[in-house]
């Protein structure tokens, strides 16, 4: 199970990096979303996956799921939601004010 | 008693939230934010003295015992940096009304500002790696808000790159924490430090260490990960530049210092030798960048990079003397970068341009600003008896003690080039033919802008001249950093 999840996280990372390297702003944002999903899956995998085991350790329970990665993911998901929505708004404003969403034209060589 | 540790995070957070409600009453907000910043500085000072006299304050959030819950650890290093952060905050609050337009101020500048201070303090105080990530996000979110304040073309363009770079490194940070969790089974720094010795495979831990270094180095702008830094730092308002230049990269340096003295001190030959080489390259490339441009703001922004190189050099040499040097330089650099960004902001404002070729003779109109700029350049380059000199002296002594002659020579040369790049601003901006730009209202504002920078410079000169007062404390911190057991014992109480 862990192997499958690790491969899935790897695929998400690959797709994310591929999209991150594009020129169009929206595709870059989709790339960041995919990477953060990959990272979240990866945390879950690192705590070892067990089906049907309770996430809390009480008396009489021998086999339990580690609850910490789930708590970490929850925090991380909220943060990546926030950043993604901010990035979308930012990209919208930037594209509107600069008149383009192509990263080639947003290079900024006018400081010198 | 241990609840004190949360105050440097909580007070700015509450101040920020409160100021969001009254953001339209600009005059009231200005007075209140100054008051909040000063109160915060005093509180940080009190906690600092407490820690200095009675040892570490460890706050276990929600009364969960240390390795299971989140802990805040107020040790001397963290409190020194929190105190310095609050000095910068006070200066910035006094500079903000001069630098920002009224509209920008009412668009939640002070809210974002206090959130940033809260996040930075939190990153210094936390004793838990995942919480470090959370506080990184808190301060980054506030910085995203600050960088786009003003809605300019260049600002929006540069902010996208800034957000993307930081988002990518944050995701890598989370991934690396997951790696570390799977190997040592904890995210608490003290427990991780303890368990790192027990893990059989040192190879995978070194890989994780390098990944962590990659993440923190991106935030701290170490070669070759500094390319994103200069432009986003100069596009926002000068007061925002001052905050960024003084605080944000230093959080990265602090994280490297903390994790690599506490947790990853196993394969010193590999990681710390890497640090020394990267420090050398960081110094060279930063200085070359500073010399390559005629934009005064860009010169100062590029000068952040060699400073990071100096601090990394101290961590790489990894002796007590060099760590003392790193901490001294860290405090010095926070103060002086704040002052310099305020000064170049003021210079660009009074000259009406930030291009060196278009200005000249400003000293006839603004003698105070000119001499402050001159003094700040000397402090930055480390001319004795200023604070930069003490930090560099310690670093060089550490380097010579370990016979790392090569890095010492590069550090000396780059110091000279830093002085050259900074004095260029003074020579072609302030010296020379009298320029006819006496705009009266600018003149009045320009003088008021010099005041916060003068305050920061005073602190900086005190750090240098009064080194005898500060040195013992910083030496204690370095001894403490070199002995991770002290940290582990104070957190886990065994």
Cβ–Cβ under 8 Å, residues B350 and B365: yes
Query: Cα(B3)–Cα(B49) distance, rounded to whole angstroms?
Result: 15
Residues of B contacting chain A (CB within 8 angstroms): 130, 133-134, 137, 141, 144, 148, 151, 153-154, 156-160, 163-164, 167-168, 170-172, 174-175, 177-179, 181-182, 187, 231, 234, 293-295, 298
Those residues with Cβ within 8 angstroms of residue B413's Cβ, 6 or more apart along the chain or in another chain = none
Query: Cα(B17)–Cα(B433) distance, rounded to whole angstroms?
Result: 49
Percent of chain B with pLDDT over 90: 48
Cβ–Cβ under 8 Å, residues B173 and A42: no
Query: Cα(B108)–Cα(B241) distance, rounded to whole angstroms?
Result: 17
Query: Cα(B335)–Cα(B117) distance, rounded to whole angstroms?
Result: 15
What does the pLDDT read at residue B44? Answer: 94
Q: Provide mean pLDDT across the span B90-94.
A: 92
pLDDT of B439 > 60? The answer is yes
Cβ–Cβ under 8 Å, residues B114 and B19: yes
What does the pLDDT read at residue A7? Answer: 93
Helix axes B304-317, B405-424, angle to 10 degrees: 160
What does the pLDDT read at residue B335? Answer: 93
Query: Cα(B291)–Cα(B418) distance, rounded to whole angstroms?
Result: 8
Tokens read off for B465:
């001249």
Which residues make beta-bridge pairs with A24?
Answer: A102
Query: Cα(B293)–Cα(B306) distance, rounded to whole angstroms?
Result: 16
Please list every residue in chain B whose beta carbon sits closer than 8 Å to the beta carbon of residue A90: 144, 148, 156, 159-160, 163
Please list every residue in chain B whose beta carbon sits closer than 8 Å to the beta carbon of residue A42: 175, 178
Q: Provide mean pLDDT across the span A60-89.
A: 88
pLDDT of B429 > 90? The answer is no
The residue to which tokens 């911190």 are assigned: B477
* Sign of the C-alpha dihedral computed for residues B165, B167, B171 and B173 taken in this order: positive
Query: Cα(A42)–Cα(A53) distance, rounded to whole angstroms?
Result: 19
At residue B47, what are phi and psi to the nearest 5 degrees? Answer: -65, -40
Q: Which helix (H) or strand (E) covers residue B74, if one does?
A: strand B71-74
Please list every residue in chain B whose beta carbon sits closer than 8 Å to the beta carbon of residue A111: 231, 234, 293, 295, 298
The tens digit of pLDDT for each residue in B130-181 reads 999 999 999 999 999 999 988 888 888 889 989 999 999 999 999 999 999 9
Which residues make beta-bridge pairs with B58?
Answer: B73
Provide DSSP, B1-24. -GGGGGHHHHHHHHHHHHHHHTTT
pLDDT of B240 > 60? The answer is yes
What residues 52-81 of chain A have any CB closer than 8 A to a CB of chain B?
Answer: 68-69, 72, 75-76, 79-80
- Across all residues in chain B, what is the average pLDDT? 89
| pLDDT band per the 50, 70, 90 thresholds, residue B265 | confident
* A30 in B contact zone (CB under 8 Å): no
Neighbours of B459 (CB within 10 A): 20
C-alpha distance from B350 to closest chain A C-alpha (Å): 19
Most B CBs within 10 Å: which of A9, A31, A76, A101, as the mutation test of the B interface? A76
What is the three-class DSSP state of A20?
Answer: helix
Long-range CB contacts (< 8 A, 24+ apart) of B466-473? B467/B387, B467/B390, B470/B328, B471/B328, B471/B390, B473/B52, B473/B76, B473/B80
What is the three-class DSSP state of B59?
Answer: strand
Cβ–Cβ under 8 Å, residues B58 and B66: yes
The residue to which tokens 């101040």 are assigned: B15
What does the pLDDT read at residue A83? Answer: 92
| pLDDT band per the 50, 70, 90 thresholds, residue B213 | very high
Residue A93 has its nearest CB partner, among B156, B167, B168, at: B156
Residue A108 has its nearest CB partner, among B154, B171, B294, at: B154
* A5 in B contact zone (CB under 8 Å): no
| pLDDT band per the 50, 70, 90 thresholds, residue B208 | very high
Beta carbons of B234 and A68 less than 8 Å apart: no
pLDDT of A112 > 60? The answer is no
Least-confidence region, from B279-288, B367-376, B446-455: B446-455
Beta carbons of B157 and A111 less than 8 Å apart: no
What chain A residue is nearest to B354 in terms of C-alpha separation? A111
pLDDT of A70 > 70? The answer is yes
pLDDT of B204 > 60? The answer is yes
Burial class of B298 by CB neighbour count within 10 A (0 to 12, 13 to 18, 19+) = buried
Tokens read off for B169:
């490194």
The residue to which tokens 């990894």 are assigned: B318
The tens digit of pLDDT for each residue in B302-341 reads 999 999 999 999 999 888 999 999 999 999 999 999 999 9
* Sign of the C-alpha dihedral computed for residues B148, B152, B157 and B162 taken in this order: negative
Q: B83 or B446, which is more confident?
A: B83
Percent of chain B with pLDDT over 70: 98
Which residues make beta-bridge pairs with B355?
Answer: B295
Cβ–Cβ under 8 Å, residues B74 and B47: yes
Beta carbons of A39 and B164 less than 8 Å apart: no
Which residues make beta-bridge pairs with B128?
Answer: B188
Cβ–Cβ under 8 Å, residues B350 and B370: no
Closest of B177, B56, B59 to residue B481, by C-alpha: B56
What does the pLDDT read at residue B196? Answer: 87
Beta carbons of A94 and B160 less than 8 Å apart: yes
Query: Cα(B142)–Cα(B398) distance, rounded to whole angstroms?
Result: 37
Q: B374 or A60, which is more confident?
A: B374
Closest of B252, B343, B249 to residue B296, by C-alpha: B343
pLDDT of A6 > 80? The answer is yes
Those residues with Cβ within 8 angstroms of residue B94's Cβ, 6 or more apart along the chain or in another chain = B34, B451, B452, B455
* Sign of the C-alpha dihedral computed for residues B424, B425, B426 and B431 taken in this order: positive
pLDDT of A111 > 60? The answer is no
The residue to which tokens 């427990």 are assigned: B191
What does the pLDDT read at residue A69? Answer: 87
Cα–Cα distances in Å, from A90 out to A98, B136, B156, B163, B428? Answer: 12, 20, 7, 9, 38
pLDDT of B361 > 90? The answer is no
Least-confidence region, from B103-107, B136-140, B254-258, B375-379: B103-107
At residue B240, what are phi and psi to the nearest 5 degrees? Answer: -70, -40
Closest of B36, B43, B229, B18 to residue B143, by C-alpha: B229
Query: Cα(B161)–Cα(B70) distance, rounded to whole angstroms?
Result: 32
Residue A91 has its nearest CB partner, among B160, B168, B170, at: B160
Instruction: Give start and end residues of each alpha helix (H) in B23-70.
Output: 26-54
What chain A residue is nearest to B136 in terms of C-alpha separation? A79
Query: Cα(A102)–Cα(A25) distance, rounded to whole angstroms?
Result: 6
Please list every residue in chain B whose beta carbon sits closer than 8 Å to the beta carbon of residue A75: 130, 134
Please list every residue in chain A whose beta carbon sits closer than 8 Å to the beta carbon of residue B174: 36, 39-40, 43, 72, 76
Q: How many helices (H) and strands (E) does chain B have?
A: 22, 2
Cβ–Cβ under 8 Å, residues B343 and B453: yes
* Cβ pairs A/B, distance under 8 A: 101
Query: Cα(B445)–Cα(B101) distance, rounded to whole angstroms?
Result: 12
Please list every residue in chain A whose beta carbon sits closer than 8 Å to the beta carbon of residue B115: none
Q: Which helix (H) or strand (E) covers residue B392, if one does?
A: helix B387-401
Q: Provide mean pLDDT across the span B190-195.
A: 89
Query: Cα(B431)–Cα(B119) distance, rounded to whole angstroms?
Result: 41
C-alpha distance from A16 to closest chain B C-alpha (Å): 10
Closest of B74, B271, B71, B251 to residue B173, by C-alpha: B251
Cα–Cα distances in Å, from A108 out to B235, B292, B298, B339? Answer: 11, 17, 13, 27
């Amino acid at each position: 199970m862990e192997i499958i999840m690790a491969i899935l996280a790897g695929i998400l990372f690959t797709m994310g990096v591929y999209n991150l390297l594009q020129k169009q702003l929206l595709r870059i944002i989709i790339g960041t979303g995919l990477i953060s999903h990959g990272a979240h899956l990866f945390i879950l995998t690192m705590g070892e996956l067990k089906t049907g085991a309770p996430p809390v350790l009480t008396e009489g329970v021998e086999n339990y799921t580690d609850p910490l990665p789930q708590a970490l993911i929850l925090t991380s998901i909220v943060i990546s939601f926030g950043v993604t929505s901010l990035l979308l708004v930012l990209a919208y404003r930037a594209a509107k004010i600069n008149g383009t969403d192509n990263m080639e034209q947003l290079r900024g060589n006018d400081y010198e | 008693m241990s609840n004190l540790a949360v105050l440097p995070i909580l007070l700015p957070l509450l101040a920020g939230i409160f100021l969001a409600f009254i953001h339209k009453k600009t005059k009231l907000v200005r007075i209140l934010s100054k008051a909040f910043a000063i109160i915060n500085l005093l509180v940080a000072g009190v906690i600092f003295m407490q820690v200095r006299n009675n040892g570490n304050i460890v706050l276990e959030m929600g009364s969960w015992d240390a390795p299971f819950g989140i802990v805040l650890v107020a040790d001397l290093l963290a409190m020194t940096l929190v105190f310095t952060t609050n000095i910068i905050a006070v200066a910035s609050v006094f500079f903000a009304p001069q630098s920002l337009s009224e509209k920008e101020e009412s668009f939640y500048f002070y809210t974002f500002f206090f959130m940033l201070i809260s996040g930075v303090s939190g990153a210094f105080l936390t004793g838990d790696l995942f919480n470090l990530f959370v506080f990184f996000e808190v301060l980054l979110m506030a910085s995203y808000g600050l960088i786009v304040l003003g809605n300019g073309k260049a600002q929006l363009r540069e902010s996208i790159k800034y957000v993307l770079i930081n988002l990518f490194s944050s995701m890598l940070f989370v991934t690396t924490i997951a790696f570390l969790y799977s190997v040592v089974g904890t995210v608490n720094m003290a427990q991780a430090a303890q368990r790192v010795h027990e893990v059989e495979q040192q190879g995978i831990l070194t890989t994780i260490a390098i990944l962590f270094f990659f993440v923190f180095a991106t935030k701290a702008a170490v070669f070759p990960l500094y390319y994103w830094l200069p432009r986003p730092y100069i596009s926002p308002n000068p007061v925002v530049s001052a905050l960024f230049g003084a605080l944000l990269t230093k959080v990265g340096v602090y994280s490297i210092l903390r994790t690599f003295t506490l947790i990853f001190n196993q394969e010193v030959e590999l990681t710390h030798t890497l640090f020394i080489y990267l420090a050398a390259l960081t110094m060279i490339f930063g200085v070359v960048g500073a010399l390559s441009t005629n934009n005064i703001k860009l010169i100062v922004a590029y000068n952040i990079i060699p400073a990071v190189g100096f601090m990394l050099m101290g961590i790489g040499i990894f002796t007590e003397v060099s760590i003392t040097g790193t901490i001294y330089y860290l405090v010095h650099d926070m103060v002086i970068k704040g002052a310099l960004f305020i000064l170049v902001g003021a210079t660009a404002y009074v000259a009406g341009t930030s291009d060196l070729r278009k200005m000249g003779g400003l000293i006839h109109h603004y003698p105070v600003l000119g001499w402050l700029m001159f003094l700040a350049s000397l402090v930055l380059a480390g001319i004795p008896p200023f604070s930069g000199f003490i930090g560099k002296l310690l670093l060089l002594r550490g380097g010579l003690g370990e016979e790392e002659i090569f890095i010492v020579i590069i550090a000396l040369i780059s110091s000279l080039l830093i002085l050259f790049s900074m004095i260029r601003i003074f020579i072609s901006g302030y010296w020379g033919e009298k320029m006819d730009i006496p705009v009266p209202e600018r003149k009045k504002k320009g003088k008021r802008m010099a005041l916060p920078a003068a305050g920061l410079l005073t602190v900086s000169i005190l750090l240098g001249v009064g080194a005898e007062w500060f040195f013992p404390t910083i030496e204690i911190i370095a001894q403490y950093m070199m002995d991770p057991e002290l940290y582990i014992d104070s957190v886990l109480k065994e």
